[in-house]
Amino acid sequence: MLIDARKLDDDSVLQGDICIVGAGAAGISIALDWLHNSTNIILLESGGFDYSPDVQALNDGQTTGQKYYPLQSSRLRQFGGTTAFWAGMCTQLDEIDFKTRDWVADSGWAFSKSELASFYARANEILNIMGEQKLHHYIDSKYASRSINSNKVWNKLWQHSNARFGRDYRQEIVKAKNITLVTHASVVNIECNSSISKVVSLETKNHSGKTHKVTSKKFILAAGAIQNARLLLASRSQAKNGIGNDFDLVGRYFMEHLEVDSSELWLSKPFDASLYTRQESRLIASAEIAIQEKIQKQYQILNGTVSLTPLNYARLVKPRIQTWRDKDPRKAMRTMLSDWSAASRIVNAKDTSPLNAYQLSTRLEQAPNRNSRIQLLNDKDSLGLAKVKLHWQLTELEKKSLRAIQMIVAEYFGEMNLGRVKLSPFLTSDSSANDFGDLSGGWHHMGTTKMNQDKTKGVVDTNCKVHGIADLYIAGSSCFPTSGSANPTLTLIALSLRLSDHLKRDLSV
Ligand SMILES: Cc1cc2nc3c(=O)[nH]c(=O)nc-3n(C[C@H](O)[C@H](O)[C@H](O)COP(=O)(O)OP(=O)(O)OC[C@H]3O[C@@H](n4cnc5c(N)ncnc54)[C@H](O)[C@@H]3O)c2cc1C
């Protein structure tokens, strides 16, 4: 069923069994998991089916620290969420990403990767990508050899998903008898009982000036890592620091993936790089050069991978942090894509001679860091909700890891007599610790409501339930304790499906 909240009577109250806030990758994946049973799901979405500047402006905020994209254009507010814009690059986290590493403070998940295996399989179906086994067969059949492999480095395989949740799942969600999708319903407050141990209702507002309430047995925030933290922090009429924030953890540990051009590889003999260059293989699958677990441990570094781009093309493309500057995500996307296609045109017209060389770019895990965080501003959005400030802060560990990963890959190419690697100036030994070159983020927002069974160390427990609140859950990458270097959407869907299974057991469905 579909309701446009702007057409509902003012002060109406909607009642469900499970109320999900946000119809993006996480929220829709959970809703799909409850299709056609007797549980009454209310799916609240801030936007409608199309882009709306007024609704998109609700994402506006400030950024400080490491240079970042405008917050307004780094997430989409409409049914389907940011998947309307995402690049669809998918790969799983590695086993090491779940482990406690004594050289990475606050690392370690409450469970190992095997806990997510069955949920990754279900997430593959939602994203319409192959399982691991099929993917390996595909790569073996298409590429003669996976040439890069040693005791230091290995091939990490990626797939490209064409999923657009707004386009692919709209009909299924709207037609489901047990699901009520409410568009133009922006949650602005979480109201709890007097002991702040249970949610009583959520308050929603929209631009027609109406306010509504939703009551439910269970509530799930699936609004993205920045908005999940914002909603908890902004619900402070009963708890002065916000809901679930007794230990000052909400909004902290914001993580992104660092994506940065780091060096040049000049080949001395022929090397088939087609598996590693996204331009050629991104439509279905590709690989990046990953660092073996024992080498990460030996060098005490974060997880990261390296991809290759033909240097004559790479030299023509501007860093994304320079082209994605507009607050309107459609314009930011257009500027970035037109920069890429201008470079392709020049290369395809053979205006630049092909070089026997590649740009090596690193995709790096960010270390959990309390001071990298979301906070509320005094300034309010058009629905009266406090805007946020993102302070994106990196540490020396990221810098050390970037340099070490490039050195390890350089050693590999040197030992194989394939060529020589020239580090970018920002990675040479006399560069400053804060110099990260032309660093761009992957638009991956993680942390901010981190998972830990200990309520003094995490906002949610291992079932993604907010500590101390009996019926409030969080879905998405805000729950990640560490980020690994893999793009987050596949894993956040797997984690959301794990939460969904937990609720089925809890509600005896
Ligand atoms: C340009 C770009 C490229 C990307 N490429 C990749 C990639 O290749 N691989 C990858 O893994 N990830 C990629 N990402 C990130 C990916 O889009 C996100 O990880 C994913 O969409 C997060 O899913 P989500 O459901 O948590 O949030 P979203 O998809 O952002 O959905 C959140 C939903 O909540 C709604 N909402 C927000 N606040 C409220 C509120 N108060 N009340 C009600 N509803 C609310 C929003 O309108 C939205 O529909 C990319 C992102 C961008 C911008």
pLDDT per residue as tens digits for the range 222-231: 999 999 999 9
Q: Residue 81 Cα, ligand 1 centroid: separation in angstroms?
A: 5
Q: Residue 136 Cα, ligand 1 centroid: separation in angstroms?
A: 28
Q: How many CA atoms lie within 13 A of 460 on its CB side?
A: 29
Segment (H or E) for 278: helix 278-281
Spatial distance between the Cα atoms of 500 and 497, rounded to a whole number of angstroms = 5
pLDDT for the residue numbered 201: 98
Instruction: Identify the residue whose tokens are 């914001």.
Output: 254
Q: What average pLDDT does the segment 61-84 reach? A: 98
Spatial distance between the Cα atoms of 475 and 28, rounded to a whole number of angstroms = 11
Q: Residue 27 Cα, ligand 1 centroid: separation in angstroms?
A: 10
Contacts for 34 with CB less than 8 Å, ≥ 6 apart: 18, 41, 178, 179, 500
Atom from ligand 1 closest to the CA of residue 81: 49
Spatial distance between the Cα atoms of 451 and 135, rounded to a whole number of angstroms = 30
CB atoms within 10 A of CB 162: 11
Nearest CA to ligand 1 atom 52: 86
Return the closest-CA partner of residue 63 out of 434, 375, 366, 477.
375
Q: Tell me the best of 20, 255, 480, 489 to mutate to test the pocket of ligand 1, counting ligand atoms within 8 Å of each CB and taking the most.
A: 489
6: left (phi over 0), alpha (psi -120 to 50) or beta: alpha
Tell me the backbone φ, ψ of residue 388, rounded to 5 degrees: -115, 160
Burial of 145 (0-12, 13-18, 19+ CB in 10 A): exposed
pLDDT for the residue numbered 469: 98
Domains in the chain: boundaries: 1-53+75-91+114-128+163-250+453-509
Average pLDDT, the chain: 95
Spatial distance between the Cα atoms of 499 and 474, rounded to a whole number of angstroms = 9
pLDDT band (50, 70, 90) for residue 272: confident
Instruction: Identify the residue whose tokens are 């009577």.
Output: 9
pLDDT for the residue numbered 278: 65
Segment (H or E) for 198: none
Q: What average pLDDT does the segment 57-71 reach? A: 98
pLDDT at 486 over 60: yes
Q: What average pLDDT does the segment 244-251 reach? A: 98
pLDDT at 211 over 60: yes
Helix (H, G, I), strand (E, B) or coil at 406: helix
Q: Residue 423 Cα, ligand 1 centroid: separation in angstroms?
A: 34
- b/e map 469-498, b = 16+ CB within 10 Å: bebbbbbbbbbbbbbbbbbbbbbbbbbbbb
Q: What average pLDDT does the segment 271-281 reach? A: 74
Order across the sheet with 61-65: list the strands.
61-65, 386-392, 373-380
Q: Tell me the best of 86, 124, 325 to mutate to test the pocket of ligand 1, counting ligand atoms within 8 Å of each CB and taking the most.
A: 86
Task: Write out 50-66 in H/E/C secondary structure.
Answer: CCCHHHHHHHCEEEEEC
pLDDT at 43 over 50: yes
Cα-Cα-Cα-Cα dihedral of 200, 205, 209, 213, to 10°? Answer: -30
CA 248 to chain centre: 23
pLDDT for the residue numbered 431: 84
Q: Which two tokens mark 210?
A: 């109406």
Nearest CA to ligand 1 atom 47: 77
**260 near 360, Cβ under 8 Å?**
no
Q: Residue 68 Cα, ligand 1 centroid: separation in angstroms?
A: 16
Q: Tell me the best of 6, 54, 75 to mutate to test the pocket of ligand 1, counting ligand atoms within 8 Å of each CB and taking the most.
A: 75
Specify the amino acid at residue 228: N
Helix (H, G, I), strand (E, B) or coil at 40: coil
Nearest CA to ligand 1 atom 26: 224
Q: Tell me the best of 4, 33, 43, 82 to mutate to test the pocket of ligand 1, counting ligand atoms within 8 Å of each CB and taking the most.
A: 82
Write out pLDDT tens, residues 332-382. Answer: 999 999 999 999 999 988 777 778 999 999 999 999 999 999 999 999 999
Q: Residue 181 Cα, ligand 1 centroid: separation in angstroms?
A: 18
Q: Residue 113 Cα, ligand 1 centroid: separation in angstroms?
A: 23
Specify the amino acid at residue 301: I
Q: Residue 250 Cα, ligand 1 centroid: separation in angstroms?
A: 19
Atom from ligand 1 closest to the CA of residue 165: 29
pLDDT band (50, 70, 90) for residue 281: very low
pLDDT for the residue numbered 143: 80
pLDDT for the residue numbered 433: 86
pLDDT for the residue numbered 279: 59
**127 near 250, Cβ under 8 Å?**
no
Q: Residue 29 Cα, ligand 1 centroid: separation in angstroms?
A: 12
Q: Which two tokens mark 37?
A: 């049973």
Write out pLDDT tens, residues 402-458. Answer: 999 999 999 999 999 999 999 999 998 788 888 999 999 999 999 999 999 999 999
pLDDT at 141 over 60: yes
Nearest CA to ligand 1 atom 1: 86
Q: Residue 75 Cα, ligand 1 centroid: separation in angstroms?
A: 5
**230 near 376, Cβ under 8 Å?**
yes
pLDDT for the residue numbered 144: 66
Contacts for 448 with CB less than 8 Å, ≥ 6 apart: 225, 226, 228, 229, 250, 251, 252, 253, 254, 373, 374, 459, 478
Q: How many CA atoms lie within 13 A of 408 on its CB side?
A: 31
Q: Which two tokens mark 249?
A: 């953890």
Parallel, antiparallel or unpaired: strands 440-441 and 285-291:
unpaired
Atom from ligand 1 closest to the CA of residue 88: 8
Spatial distance between the Cα atoms of 367 and 320, rounded to a whole number of angstroms = 22
**Start-to-end Cα distance in the chain:** 21
Instruction: Identify the residue whose tokens are 């797939």.
Output: 159
Q: What average pLDDT does the segment 3-23 reach? A: 98
pLDDT for the residue numbered 36: 84
**113 near 97, Cβ under 8 Å?**
yes
Between residues 246 and 270, which one has the greater pLDDT?
246
Nearest CA to ligand 1 atom 23: 25
pLDDT band (50, 70, 90) for residue 3: very high
Q: Residue 454 Cα, ligand 1 centroid: separation in angstroms?
A: 28
Q: Rg for the chain (alpha carbons), in Å?
A: 23
Atom from ligand 1 closest to the CA of residue 25: 25
Inter-axis angle of helices 489-506 and 117-127, nearest 10: 110
Q: Residue 145 Cα, ligand 1 centroid: separation in angstroms?
A: 36
**214 near 79, Cβ under 8 Å?**
no
Q: Residue 443 Cα, ligand 1 centroid: separation in angstroms?
A: 9
Nearest CA to ligand 1 atom 27: 224
Atom from ligand 1 closest to the CA of residue 231: 41
Write out pLDDT tens, residues 150-204. Answer: 899 999 999 999 999 999 999 999 999 999 999 999 999 999 999 999 999 999 9
Nearest CA to ligand 1 atom 46: 77
Q: Which CATH number fits domain 1-53+75-91+114-128+163-250+453-509: 3.90.245.10, 1.10.760.10, 3.50.50.60, 3.40.630.10?
A: 3.50.50.60
Q: Residue 346 Cα, ligand 1 centroid: separation in angstroms?
A: 33
Atom from ligand 1 closest to the CA of residue 223: 34
Specify the range with the lowest mean pLDDT, choosing from 19-33, 51-65, 187-201, 269-283.
Answer: 269-283
Spatial distance between the Cα atoms of 59 and 227, rounded to a whole number of angstroms = 8
Pocket of ligand 1, beta carbon within 6 A: 21-27, 44-47, 74-75, 77-78, 81-83, 85-90, 186-187, 222-224, 227, 231, 443-444, 476-477, 487-489, 492
DSSP-assigned letters across all residues of 263-304: EEEEESS----TTT-HHHHTTTEEEEEEE-HHHHHHHT---E
Write out pLDDT tens, residues 86-136. Answer: 999 999 999 999 999 999 999 999 999 999 999 999 999 999 999 999 999
